[in-house]
Structure 1
Amino acid sequence: MNGKQRIAAQSREWLTTAFFELLKSRPYGEITVKDISEQAQLSRRTFYRSFKDKEDLLDDYGNRMIHDYLARLTDLSKANMDFEQVLTTFFSFWYEQRNEIRLLIKQNLFMVLLAKLSPQATKLYDVFQAPWHIEGTKREISYVMSFSFGGFWNILNMWLIEENPDSPKEVAHTLLIALKKMNYEE
């Protein structure tokens, strides 16, 4: 990354941090590009070099989180971890983002991210093997991933709204027990 790219990335980070800082005290609908720029101590022109609008900033945040999570999963697939470790890694990753996620949940923005990121769920399918994976058509795999992605997203939505959420390990363990009970033969 050259110097110009590094400065642009730093500006995006500052603008995103400013956005989340503003979400702590103001409704999303009342936050303007001017507010975000001023909070970040950057010009509006700098904002518009990075993002089209505040929705684009939110999309960028969501895309970066999915990218970072995919990178974490890629590391996992190399380590040959068991399913409980995969679950713990999933919940640990999002737990690390809990302050931002809690703000998004409170502002009814978390489910907006789900709708935008859900189509990317099929990318996760190829990153690691999970017990619910099937060998099927793209459409069948899309059904499986939509089902699991929605379930995990709903758990995050319920879990991370708490001021003091359970540990990622506790959530993963509870889910694993339930999944094992559902594993029955017809």
Structure 2
Amino acid sequence: MSQFNKKVNPITLRSKKWIVNSLIELMEKKPYNQITLKEIAENVDLARQTIYRNFSTKEAILEYHVDGLYNEFIRIISAKKEITLNDLLITYFEYWYKNKEFLKKLIDDNVYSILLDLHLKYLNSMATNEELKKLTFVSENSYFNHFTAGGLWFVLKRWIEDDAQKTPKEMTDIILNFYHIKGLNTESTEEK
């Protein structure tokens, strides 16, 4: 599932990194829908064939980058010895806070929806990860995972639209209180 588990030619990886960086750089200057593959190639001084060899569309470039962000997040939470749902959500909001300018650009350019399918993909992968399987919101039930992915996706979107004014802890409390599970899967004993 992970793009990082496959053995890839270092030159290919470098080219992909340059292409992704070129797209992100261009997105800072103009709307996503006005960017062409030709511009991406010219911006990084690569032949268009190099882009087409690695990506069929600019959407594929964006998906590759976002996929890398999700893989990084999974590595962060997988590295924790123990993780509660509370810890996971705080880590989730802290992680996306570090990437908030990129997310804001996706929202502003009306391409934020790319995250929804990837949210679901990684939530499903967490359901098969033995370390993360015990978390309350991770399930092998696809309806539950669709519901959770959609909820997290919209909450993240709203938080970024509000310029991430609430802290990751406040966002975690909002989600846990919404589901009435603040004490579930945490070290705390009771909640009134």
Q: Taking structure 2 as the reference length, what is the TM-score of the superposition? A: 0.78
- Runs of 5+ consecutive residues of structure 1 not aligned to the other structure: none
- Which SS does the other structure have where 1:180 is aligned? coil
> Shift of residue 164 of structure 1?
5.0
Q: Deviation string for 1:63-82 (max 9, x for gaps)?
A: 22222222223223xx1122
SS at match of 1:166: coil
Closer, same or farther: CA 6–100 of 1 in aligned 2, 3 Å: same
CA change 1:85–1:124 in 2 (3 A) is: same
1: distance between equivalents of 2:119 and 2:84?
26
Shift of 1:21: 1.8
Instruction: Name the CA shift for 1:59/1:181 in 2 (closer, same or farther; >3 Å).
Output: closer
Give the residue type in structure 1 aligned to 2:152.
Answer: F
Which 5+ residue runs of structure 2 have no aligned equivalent? 184-192
Distance in 2 between residues matched to 1:119 and 1:149, nearest whole Å = 9
- The percent identity for this pair of structures is 25
Give the CA deviation at 1:148.
0.9
Deviations 1:58-100 (A, max 9, x none): 2212222222222223223xx1122211111111121122111
Q: Which residue of structure 1 aligns with residue 189 of structure 2?
A: none
Residues 115 and 181 from structure 1, CA distance in 2 versus in 1: closer, same or farther, beyond 3 angstroms?
closer
Counterpart check, 1:28 vs 2:48:
no
- Number of residue pairs the alignment of both structures matches: 175
Alpha-carbon contact 2:27-2:105 (below 8 Å) kept: yes
Higher helix proportion, which one? 1
Dislocated runs of 4+, deviation >4 Å:
none
After superposition, give the CA deviation of every residue in 1:4-45 in whole Å (9 maximum; x if it has no partner).
Answer: 822321221221122122122322222111111122232222
In structure 2, the partner of 1:91 is 93
Q: Secondary structure at the match of 2:174?
A: helix
Change in Cα spacing, 1:182 to 1:163, as seen in structure 2 (3 Å) is: closer
Contact 1:63 1:117 in 2 (8 A): no
Q: Aligned letter for 1:66?
A: Y
Choose from 122, 130, 136 the match for 1:131.
136
Aligned to 1:55: 59
Distance 2:36 2:73 in 1: 29
Distance 1:143 1:39 in 2: 42
* 1:44 maps onto 2:9 in alignment: no
Structure 2 counterpart of 1:92, one-letter code: E
Q: Which SS does the other structure have where 1:93 is aligned?
A: helix
